[in-house]
Copies of this chain bind each other. A is one copy, B any other.
């Protein structure tokens, strides 16, 4: 490939977008990595490339031997379990795509405070663990059980409130067959940043439900009112509305940006000829992807879907593009089997949640 000069790849000729991002947002982005879009090629995200959203600090758990899980509250037989005791139960492995509920926040206008994701807060892993149901059946939920609360070991302030990270499920949700207490990721013990030694995995839901560094489970007789349950992770357009609690992932697709990038702007240069566009698509709660479409300068084409790889895993898609020299905008959008299709523009949400607007990639073909 010869050296080339092209004005959009010359920094002197390129205009900077001043996003007006705050230092706090950049610090969060420095801490919380997204996946690298080019590594969407891997069916299972390699270690270190799965997105992370760490609310507080990663707790330091030196050894699983120092750790136990308490299950208490409104249960008939409270339990304290070691990791070995949990691992001795029957276990399952599920391939699960997880996405942060705040994915796409950086594209919203006005932009809510928080981790400024563009598109990259996603990853797929094989999680191995004991079905939560096994342990809940062992302890026996009391008749007046209303919520099952999962507490992590990570503690800090959010929204002005000090708390251990905690989320709840209804008994019905908690007894779902695919909810796991996971101790292994891709066949290895959990890494510190993914919840060592034990975490919840709630397939099909946005990531906030899959509580990491699980410390205790408490069954209560009222709706859980912790900050992560009622103070955030609620879809709201206005501050004064009750809103809708966030649960399962919305349909979304991403493409591996074709060609080669400019280091700073991430603009792409593609050689003319046959280009195979490749990407991934997923939706929530085990709803299959029905269709992925690709637009080339506004003209839509249907992509070919790879075989499914499990109820909760993303699905590959491909589209062969005959690229001729010029400037292009490529867009991909998925439609799931419920008929939910990605919008072309972000829907506003006060917390910056659930933005599944279609990805747009600008490329120059030479």
Contact = CB atoms under 8 A, between A and B. Distances in A.
Interface of A: 1-5, 9-12, 16-34, 36, 38-39, 41-42, 46-50, 52, 54-58, 60, 106, 113-114, 116-118, 120, 155-163, 191-193, 257, 260-267, 269
B22 A21 contact: yes
A9 B118 contact: no
A113 B263 CA distance: 11
Contact of A261 (B50, B157, B269): B157
15 contacts: A9-B160, A11-B159, A20-B20, A20-B21, A24-B264, A24-B266, A30-B106, A30-B120, A31-B33, A36-B58, A36-B193, A48-B48, A48-B52, A48-B191, A157-B263
Nearest to A165: B263
Contact of A27 (B3, B41, B118, B159): B118
Contacts of A24: 16-17, 19, 264-266
Given A18-B22, A23-B21, A31 B34 contact: yes
Contact of A18 (B20, B114, B160, B257): B20
B31 A23 contact: no
A159 B265 CA distance: 11
Contact of A29 (B18, B26, B156, B260): B26
B41 A60 contact: yes
Shortest 3 CB-CB contacts between residues of A and residues of B:
A48-B48, A33-B33, A29-B29
Given A23-B17, A260-B157, A1 B162 contact: yes
A100 to B, nearest CB: 11
Contacts of A120: 30-31
A155 B19 contact: no
A40 to B, nearest CB: 11
A56 B156 contact: no
A54 B29 contact: no
A3 B36 contact: no
A158 B262 contact: yes
